[in-house]
Chains A and B, each alone.
Chain A
Amino acid sequence: MKQYMLSVHHESPAEVATISDEDMQRMFQQVDAFNEEVRQAGAWVFAGGLEGIESATVVDARGGAAVITDGPFAETKEYLGGFWVITAADLDEALEWARKGSAACEGRVEVRPFQGEA
């Protein structure tokens, strides 16, 4: 079995801000149902949605002393919203989970394998 990260990216903070409470509720319910399906199938490793980028802090200790900065890591508007870590026999299985996850959270999902074997 291999492990894959299924990550959800948002186009921009503005995109998320314009989602109505109603739509948000619907997505939460869909994701909850999806998560349950992943757990039932025994494919669940870990998952979670991330707080918004306003809550982010960047730490850079490459030069020795740690530099701490308010804000997200990326310069771009696009940012990571949340992710699932699953086990799957092969990419086709991971892609099938990603299909369902993408429909549930109504966002694009990137599928990347972890290095090494599970």
Chain B
Amino acid sequence: MNIIFVLLPLSLLLGGFFLGAYIWSVRSKQMEDLNTPPLRMLADDDCQTIINQKGE
């Protein structure tokens, strides 16, 4: 089962990458506000849609 010497570091590397990404996201304040993002994405329309909506 020597292949484990390849798969284990590889999986740990992938895991490590994502761990790093997680830590980065916390430190760069990505998790500070969890309330506005779901609402903001609903309204992130392009100009034409805004114009269309305003014209209603």
Whether both chains belong to one complex is answered with no
Interface residues, chain A, with chain B CB atoms under 8 Å away: none
Interface residues, chain B, with chain A CB atoms under 8 Å away: none
